[in-house]
Amino acid sequence: MQTGVRPRLYGVGSLGLLAVIVLGWWAVSTYLLDKTTRALLPPPQDVVKAAWELARSGELWTHLRDSIKREAVAFLWATSAIPLGIAMGWWRAVEEQVDPLVEVLRPVPPLAWIPLSILWFGVGDTQNQFIIFLGCFFPILLNTIAGVKGVEPNLVRAARCLGASEGRILWRVVLRAAMPQIITGVRVGLGVGWMALVAAELVGANSGLGFLINDARTVLRTDYVIVGMATIGVVGLAIDSAIRAAGAKLLPWSRAMTR
């Protein structure tokens, strides 16, 4: 049922601009920079070589594993936003109590929590997970609330007159009907969380991709820095694509998911 006007997957041809940029990078690094400044922007082939070194030594995988583990643990905690969002979207009294708190906390960027969270949790997994959790939580919460409020009133009425209890309506109708928007919240939340993760690791960790690039900076290994940055980008893209694919697979009825 692909009805999108624009094709979703891009062909090899659409990588043209990327190729030009890499070529430009290579030309600048090789011909414009001298020996000293080249250390700040190593040519692409050096970066590939560095990636190979880091992959072979296993260092890259250790850092990647630590980062993904933190993201996963924090995300599991952040899924508590789904029941909370359903309650807030469904019962006005819950929303009235919780909403002011949410509205005050939401504009505080996760990064602003880093100093306090280091004092609370010290340097390490817990602190990182807390920062990622903050990044994940609010997008999931706000999308869940919007999803619940957007449920067609007649769907709820239909379920009511077919004999569904309040609990059944929430579980069988409201949750399902809001699911496309909840998944959108999960996508946004994992993205924000992934960005927050790297920032948290820059200052508050002894492992992870954020730690890797900061550590490499202190010894001027810019090739490692770029490898770390590229890994962060590719993994972020992979997580987002996986969620999108899962959404399209699990919710074939939703236009929002298959578009």
Partner 1 sequence: MSRVAISHLGKTFAEAGHDPVEALRDVSFEVADREFCSILGHSGCGKTTLLMMLAGFEQPSAGSIAVDGQPVGAPTWQRTVVFQDYALFPWMTVEDNVAFGLEMKQVAAAERGAIVARNIALVGLQGFERRYPHQLSGGMKQRVSIARALAVDPAVLLMDEPFAALDAQNRSRMQEEMGRILASADPQARKTMVLVTHSIEEAILLSDQIVVLTRRPGRVKAEIRVDLPRPRSELDPAFIAMKRRIRDLIHDEFEIEA
Binding residues (CB under 8 A) for partner 1: these are 1, 152, 154-155, 157-165, 168, 172-173, 176-177, 179, 251-255
Residue 164 or 203: the one with the smaller Cβ distance to partner 1 is 164
Q: Give the nearest distance from C-beta 242 to partner 1 in angstroms.
A: 21
Q: Give the nearest distance from C-beta 248 to partner 1 in angstroms.
A: 14
Q: Give the nearest distance from C-beta 92 to partner 1 in angstroms.
A: 14
Phi-psi region of 208 (alpha: psi -120 to 50; beta: other; left: phi over 0): left
Residue 197 has φ and ψ, to the nearest 5°, of -55, -50
Residue 134 or 151: the one with the smaller Cβ distance to partner 1 is 151
Q: Give the nearest distance from C-beta 22 to partner 1 in angstroms.
A: 43
Query: Residue by residue, what is the 3-state secondary structure of the chain?
Result: CCCCCCCCCCCHHHHHHHHHHHHHHHHHHHHHCCHHHHCCCCCHHHHHHHHHHHHHHCHHHHHHHHHHHHHHHHHHHHCCHHHHHHHHHHCHHHHHHHHHHHHHHCCCCHHHHHHHHHHHHCCCHHHHHHHHHHHHHHHHHHHHHHHHHCCCHHHHHHHHHCCCCHHHHHHHHHHHHHHHHHHHHHHHHHHHHHHHHHHHHHHHCCCCHHHHHHHHHHCCCHHHHHHHHHHHHHHHHHHHHHHHHHHHHHCCCCHHHHC
Residue 7 or 167: the one with the smaller Cβ distance to partner 1 is 167
Residue 69 or 160: the one with the smaller Cβ distance to partner 1 is 160
Q: Give the nearest distance from C-beta 151 to partner 1 in angstroms.
A: 11
d(CA 40, CA 30): 12
Residue 123 or 156: the one with the smaller Cβ distance to partner 1 is 156
d(CA 137, CA 132): 8
Residue 142 or 177: the one with the smaller Cβ distance to partner 1 is 177
Q: Give the nearest distance from C-beta 160 to partner 1 in angstroms.
A: 4
Residue 150 or 252: the one with the smaller Cβ distance to partner 1 is 252
Q: Give the nearest distance from C-beta 158 to partner 1 in angstroms.
A: 4
